[in-house]
Amino acid sequence: MELSNVYFVIGSAYAGKSTLVANLAKKHDGIELNENYHDEKLSELDSKEFPNLTYTRDIKDWHDFIRRTPDEYVRWINDVKKECEIVELGILEEVLSDPKVKSKKVFVDTNISIDTLHRLTDEDHVIVMLSDPSISVSRFFDRPDPEKQFLYQLMLEEPDPQAALDNYRKILTRINSKENYDKLENSGFKVIYRDENRSEDETVKLAEEIFGI
């Protein structure tokens, strides 16, 4: 693929990735591939080829989703990312094959791995966004989006809601570990750290400087 007009954003939860990608696409009249853009292909996926991505599509009882141990959940998350990469690269290839996109910039909030991005593109075409790992755990259920509130309600329906919540917080702590944070921070790509005192426009300017646009 010709990726000279493609700009990737990766990083931790609550770092502002989706907001940045949306703002960059709007400002530069570009194409936005935002968080979990692989979902558009979910209904088409073969469960044998993509067992982890289709797990939630085919699940019969969502309570089973939240009852998994931290080990089971983290293993699933890691395998989901590998499958996401395949699907997201395929979607990106489709987008770039559209003649209307040739002259446009494409901004991507992606699950593509650090190693793959190093093989695919230049260092100035990737930004890592990071927030304090503790935020992802403490504020997970504070966000109003339907997915998180759905999970929260499932836990309240459990025989021991507090135990269910505690288990999920252990999961979030594992997913947002210092080890994962350090891997992103030391990826070799430029980093933008979450700053509550920085405006969205200021973050866009930081990104533009890194991307050289």
- Give the Å distances, CA to CA, from 152 to 19, 27, 51, 60, 89: 24, 35, 25, 18, 32
DSSP sequence for 146-204: HHHHHHHHHHHTSSSHHHHHHHHHHHHHHHT-HHHHHHHHTSSSEEEE--TTS-HHHHH
Domains in the chain: ranges and CATH: 6-200 (3.40.50)
Q: Percent of the chain at pLDDT above 70? A: 100
Q: Would you place residue 95 in the very low, low, confident or very high pLDDT band (cuts 50, 70, 90)?
A: very high
Which of these, 160, 155, 109, 144, lies nearest to 6 by C-alpha position?
A: 109
What is the model's pLDDT at position 106?
96
Average pLDDT over residues 91-101: 91
Per-residue pLDDT, averaged over 148-165, amounts to 93
pLDDT at 136: 75
pLDDT tens digits along 98-121: 988 888 999 999 989 999 999 999
Mean pLDDT of 30-57: 93
Determine the residue type at 131: S
What is the per-residue pLDDT across 24-42, written as a single tens digit (0 to 9) for each?
A: 999 999 999 998 889 889 9
